[in-house]
Amino acid sequence: MSSQNLSLRIGVLISGSGSNLQAIIEAIESHQLPDVEIALVVSNKPDAYGLQRALKHRLPAIYLPWSQRTIGVQFIAPKSEMSESESRLTTLLHLFQIDLIVLAGWMRILSAAFLEQFPQHIINIHPGQVVPLQPGMEHKYQPSVVCTRFNKPLTLV
């Protein structure tokens, strides 16, 4: 997950209207996020309005159908393996040379196997999504707001 250019290439994962995506777009356009570019937008829902927002700004936008594995009442991949959808997402993120993955209203639980592939390269700007997998269990994967490539904090509002 590293690119040759100087800008930070972000991949934005969405599931809905894309209001968080729009805020990022506006912050980039107004130079509040210098040296940041949105290199990819991925949605797990074909009718997510956020895809239209991305296309309006000429950003690469992809609908990625999401398959689920059932474990008890939760829909997650087993800890030791990724789902087929996560494997496809991983391929896309590498293909587009994404430096930082931004969960901007992404309404899917990502497996530990997926998260372990991108240590300190994922942030979640929708705090309602950071929940433990089971009640009483501490969540191991808290989003990091430090990009190790630039060794500086990022501010995404």
Please return the burial class of 58, using the count of CB atoms within 10 Å of its CB with bins 0-12, 13-18 and 19+.
exposed
Give the phi and the psi of residue 151 in degrees, each rounded to 5. 50, 45
Scan for tokens 């904090």, then name that residue. Answer: 153
How far apart (Å, rounded) are the C-alpha atoms in residues 95 and 21? 21
Decide if 94 is catalytic: no
Q: Cα–chain-centroid distance for residue 99?
A: 11
Which member of 31, 94, 126, 139 is catalytic?
126
Q: Which of 152, 125, 128 is nearest to 139 (CA)?
A: 128
Please list the active-site residues: 126
